[in-house]
Amino acid sequence: MRGSCSRSPYLGRVGTYVRYHHERWDGTGYPEKLRGDAIPLPARIIHLADAYDAMTSTRPYREALSHDEAMRRILEGSGTQFDPRLVDLFAGLVDEGVVDRIRAETGAHESG
């Protein structure tokens, strides 16, 4: 997946983060099965944010999950799918209302 982001002098790093945002903390992700801190931190952040957004957004094939169900799944994936330190930080941001404010400011879909 060496796309146009990687070749751009302005987006080169972003391409790297996009490339690795499906890696999993436990090393079972793709494309290279990177594990733990070998996954670039921005890619780990994108992975977690993307997962939450995907779970809490309505898709053509299913309704949005509730915030509580999405958080349950994220907490369940801590240490396997997601970086456990980021899950803890994310949970704190959710509790403080930061995630809701970001979603409102960016026009993200409302939770189910």
pLDDT digits (tens, 9 = 90+) for 25-80: 999 999 999 999 999 999 999 999 999 999 999 999 999 999 999 999 999 999 99
Per DSSP, the three-state class of 27 is coil
Across the range 72-91, mean pLDDT stands at 98
Number of other CB atoms surrounding residue 43 within 10 Å: 20
- pTM of this structure: 0.83
| DSSP symbols for 57-86 | S-BTTBPPPPHHHHHHHHHHTBTTTB-HHH
Percent of the chain at pLDDT > 70 equals 87
CA torsion 49-76-88-16 (nearest 10°) is: -40
pLDDT at 111 over 90: no
pLDDT at 89: 97
pLDDT of residue 43: 97
Number of Cβ within 10 Å of residue 1's Cβ equals: 11
For residue 79 the two structure tokens come to 């240490």
Query: What's the confidence (pLDDT) of residue 23?
Result: 98
